Structure 1
């Protein structure tokens, strides 16, 4: 079964970003249980030639026939695999990783940006997307988590940092108010407990739509960027509550 992604609705700017990478042989997405809602992806890891990352998430303990709205909890299963032959090198699994209800879990994406936490260690990311079902009150969010390899296991070192968020309220025709937040991650030169600090830059904006005659006019205002540093405490990067995704 191939990957299935939900649209993020009215606010397209909070959609998943799917970059292109060099294609390696036999990068096969994990198979999903037939008839059960889920998402599956495979992506070559450019930092480690010959290694691919697989990720899958599927609705737990319910079939789509019993639950036509795909609501409930989703697990998460990750693996590093040999691009040639498909041998498993390291794995991670977590039950009930994502909750899908009024705000639905709508997809996952493997992120192979250069998350160099030490000179010898690079992390990869998993981005999880969520989407509201209300047209009058659109909402969407994307969370980023980072994982590192330790022998034959994968370990999360950053969990559920909200990197994209947007929403609003409008009359479904023109008039309304909207907000958007985007965060970027940079590797700092400083470090804590042996791992590089992470610089998080937040850019937020608000917009208002008003009707002028036959036209719908949008007025926007960007806030001053905010910058904070995330530090590793020996187990994970500490994410402030205001920046961390929560179960809906």
Structure 2
């Protein structure tokens, strides 16, 4: 009897091992040459589905090689089965991100609870950019939301600046900075059957100075500003001042 119990445990461990292997998502491969980013993440909202994102630089025939990853980047998204890796839905678009003095430096998948209807959730893609000037630092992170419709992935919100910062300083201590962070809440109200999105924006201004040989600083947190984004039947309309270029 003990023998059969042991064999049963071995079988269970074996099955769990296979399931674990399936659960470990694989990011799509990048080209052997050329800059880019490749990420993957399991989608908690939909059991058995994994999201992958690939953004690679588009070759410029005028240049023999890309300098410091500068150029235009495409974006390829897929929802794949965690069981067998089979693609379930896809999206592809050229020239989505530009990288130059304002450098494209990271790509992430966001699986927060973006519940747009009773049975439809979106996932997010966050792209971050950093300026090259040390005395005038600047950075932004954009959030875009996508939904799966059958075997197609469709954007429903594009290039919302979810976080940004800028400033000017002497590269030692004295200077002024501003940082804005945003979060999303799904409202109870709807437009074209999709939940309205409430964007909460909070800006923190900072000032630093030298006093008696020490670097001092002070932060001033502004009031929370609420902005409602409404779906127009195709996408959520993002105000120009909140949209990445």
**Same fold by TM-score, threshold 0.5 exceeded?**
yes
Alpha-carbon spacing, 1:216–1:65, altered in 2? closer, same or farther (3 Å): farther
Q: What is the distance in 1 between the residues matched to 2:181 and 2:22?
A: 31
1:25 Cα offset (Å): 2.1
What's 1:169 paired with? 168
- 1:99, 1:105 within 8 Å by CA — same for their partners in 2? yes
What's 1:45 paired with? 43
Secondary structure at the counterpart of residue 134 of structure 1: coil
1:224 Cα offset (Å): 1.2
What's 2:150 paired with? 151
Q: What is the distance in 2 between the residues matched to 1:235 and 1:208?
A: 42
1:65 Cα offset (Å): 7.0
1:93 Cα offset (Å): 0.4
Secondary structure at the counterpart of residue 105 of structure 1: strand
TM-score (norm 2): 0.89
Q: What is the distance in 2 between the residues matched to 1:117 and 1:47?
A: 12
Q: Work out which of the two has the higher radius of gyration on C-alpha atoms and give 1 or 2.
A: 2
What's 1:107 paired with? 106
What's 2:210 paired with? 211
Q: What is the distance in 1 between the residues matched to 2:23 and 2:151?
A: 22
Which string of whole-angstrom CA distances, capped at 9 and with x for unpartnered residues, describes residues 103-148 of structure 1? 0111110000010100010000000000111111111100000000
What's 1:60 paired with? 58
Question: Of Structure 1 and Structure 2, which has the larger fraction of its residues in helix?
Answer: 2
Q: CA RMSD in A?
A: 1.6
Alpha-carbon spacing, 1:179–1:84, altered in 2? closer, same or farther (3 Å): same
Which string of whole-angstrom CA distances, capped at 9 and with x for unpartnered residues, describes residues 81-122 of structure 1? 001110000000000000111101111100000101000100
1:76 Cα offset (Å): 0.3
User: How many residue pairs align between the two structures?
Assistant: 225
- 2:34, 2:66 within 8 Å by CA — same for their partners in 1? no
TM-score (norm 1): 0.88
Which string of whole-angstrom CA distances, capped at 9 and with x for unpartnered residues, describes residues 41-89 of structure 1? 0100011111000001011015997122111100000000001110000
Q: What is the distance in 1 between the residues matched to 2:190 and 2:21?
A: 33
- 2:22, 2:84 within 8 Å by CA — same for their partners in 1? no
Gaps of 5+ in 2: 1-19
Q: What is the distance in 2 between the residues matched to 1:176 and 1:116?
A: 41
More divergent stretch after superposition (78-87 vs 58-67) = 58-67
What's 1:32 paired with? 30
Which string of whole-angstrom CA distances, capped at 9 and with x for unpartnered residues, describes residues 8-30 of structure 1? xxxxxxxxxxxxxx996241000
Q: What is the distance in 2 between the residues matched to 1:67 and 1:150?
A: 36
